[in-house]
Amino acid sequence: MYRLSSLIFLLLGCLPLLAQSPHGDDLDMDCVKCHNPGGWNINYQTIQFDHSKTDFQLEGTHANVDCILCHSTNVFDQAPMDCAACHLDIHSQSVGNDCVRCHTSETWLVDNIPELHEANGFPLVGVHSNLSCIECHNTDSSNLRIDPLGNECIDCHQDDYAATQNPNHQQAGFSTDCIECHNPLGFGWDSESINHDFFPLTEGHNIQDCTECHTTGNYSDVSPECVSCHQEDYAATQNPNHSTSGFSTDCVACHTTSPGWMPAVINHDFFPLTQGHNIQDCTECHTTPNYSDTSPDCVTCHQEDYAATQNPNHTTSGYSTDCVSCHTTNPGWMPAVINHDFFPLTQGHNIQDCTECHTTPNYSDASPECVACHQSDYDQTNNPNHLAANFPTDCVACHTTNPGWTPAEFDHDGQYFPIYSGKHQQAWNDCVECHANPSNYADFTCFTCHSQPEMDDKHSEVNGYEYLSSSCLECHPNGD
């Protein structure tokens, strides 16, 4: 009896060991999801295990592979997930061990080679798109080892660079970056694709034979200065003579690269060729072969015009020989705008005929004093009589240049006697009320308004009182 109970206890203790999963402790699922009561074989039609919930989804050809090919043991999570663990690296580690960089789970064929190269910084364009892989990538006899190359041109084309003689790239010091001169989209080393932007080959410079400019084997020693090629053209030019005229040897100052040196556009901003100066024949101004000796002063060319001018006579009038002080470059010397600010020609003085004021050919002898022109006006004025009143001959003391001499502003209050202020303001209507003698405004009377009986009565107690207008002014200079 004791032995039976011990046997039962032993069997019960072994049951957990017999029920332990051979797939490891981490696979926690019911056996029937893969197996059936008839045996341990797996029916792939009824299997309920979802491999997509693991870290390795079965895509492409992986979905058709027998499990044991990847899971070499029953402990499933011991199966490696890196490509090289299952797939032989036929490229011998020359492209790394990450197959998915080039391959998919559908096939080993690679159909995105251009994209792969572009992602690695070397697009397969132009002639590069037609090359076999082994032409660029060093490989073994199997042609499966693909050693990486650098992305610089010289990494592949060192031999081409060194072997080139027309021109000799090494001697000329050319850049080893081929695309500086050659077009990567082209299909050869032709010179039509040379990038010559550092010295644009336009029009007359568009020469196909490089040796016309590059006369030595060293292409880097050619100067970009115009005169380095065109010294003879410069020296031989006679119309105008560039050498004697001191013209710049920088041809682009006047010329383009158009063949024949025409058109030539001279930068004449130092002496603008406008209107009457816009002369096409340079020799009209530049009378000697040395163009640099022509003076920019007006009188250099226009001395005869200056001397011959009679209306007005510039010489006798002492006019400036700097024509621009009055004239523009408009042909015919008109319009002429004289700067008359020293004597402003406003209103009544705005006279178009100069001879009305300048009565002699010498315009410089006209006096700016008013009376020089207006003596007759001054003498003939009777209301009031300027002579009798001893008014100043400086017309601007009372008048503006307004035609008709009005309005006239005479400072009677400040200079003589207040009649526009004080007690006499609005006490009179006409000058003759005080100036009874129109021929002499210096003579005045107070008695038109102030009768003697009235004044005698008011001054009865004033010692030395006299009924005289001069006495009134003497005691009452302010009219109070």
In single-letter form, the type of residue at position 297 comes to D
Give dist(CA 89, CA 55) in Å, integer: 23
> Which distant-in-sequence residues (6+ apart) come within 8 Å of 137 by Cβ?
146, 147, 148, 149
Quote the pTM value. 0.38
Judge contact between 219 and 167, C-beta under 8 A. yes
Note down pLDDT in tens along the chain; length 480 residues.
444 444 444 444 444 444 577 888 888 888 888 888 888 888 777 888 888 888 888 888 888 888 888 888 888 888 888 888 888 888 888 888 888 888 888 888 888 888 888 888 888 888 888 888 878 887 677 778 887 778 888 888 899 899 988 778 888 778 888 887 888 887 778 766 677 888 888 888 888 788 888 887 677 778 888 888 899 999 998 878 888 877 888 888 889 888 888 888 887 888 888 888 888 788 888 887 777 778 888 888 899 999 998 878 888 877 888 898 889 888 888 888 887 888 888 888 888 788 888 888 777 788 888 888 899 988 998 877 888 777 888 888 888 888 888 888 778 888 788 988 888 988 888 888 888 887 777 788 988 888 889 988 888 888 888 888 888 888 888 888
Give dist(CA 401, CA 404) in Å, integer: 9
Measured CA distances, 281 to 236, 243, 258, 285 (Å): 20, 19, 21, 8
Q: Give me the count of residues in the chain.
A: 480
pLDDT value for 18 = 47
> Which distant-in-sequence residues (6+ apart) come within 8 Å of 407 by Cβ?
400
pLDDT value for 44 = 76
Give dist(CA 14, CA 17) in Å, integer: 5
Measured CA distances, 66 to 51, 61, 108, 161 (Å): 13, 11, 19, 55
Give dist(CA 254, CA 340) in Å, integer: 41
pLDDT value for 162 = 92
Instruction: Give which of 45, 34, 126 is closest to 76, Cα–Cα.
Output: 34
What is the rounded radius of gyration, in angstroms, for the C-alpha atoms of the chain?
58
Output the six-digit token pair for 103: 């391959």
pLDDT value for 5 = 47
pLDDT value for 55 = 86
Bridge partners (DSSP) of residue 313 are 310
In single-letter form, the type of residue at position 83 comes to C
DSSP SS3 for 39: strand
Long-range contacts of 35-41 (CB under 8 A, 24+ apart): none
pLDDT value for 19 = 54
> Which distant-in-sequence residues (6+ apart) come within 8 Å of 383 by Cβ?
431, 438
pLDDT value for 120 = 81
Q: Report phi then psi at 333, rounded to 5.
A: 65, 5
Q: Which residues of 113-132 are buried (b: 16+ CB within 10 A; e: fewer)?
A: eeeebeeeebebeeebeeee
Q: For residue 182, with 0-12 CB atoms within 10 Å meaning exposed, 13-18 middle and 19 or more buried, which class applies? A: buried
DSSP SS3 for 427: coil
Measured CA distances, 386 to 50, 95, 382 (Å): 130, 119, 7
Q: Which residues of 225-256 are buried (b: 16+ CB within 10 A; e: fewer)?
A: ebeebbeeeeeeeeebbbeebebeeebeebbe
Cα distance between the two ends of the chain: 166
Output the six-digit token pair for 99: 């197959």
Judge contact between 390 and 444, C-beta under 8 A. no
Give dist(CA 374, CA 370) in Å, integer: 6
pLDDT value for 10 = 44
Measured CA distances, 76 to 1, 30, 67, 193, 219 (Å): 45, 15, 9, 61, 70
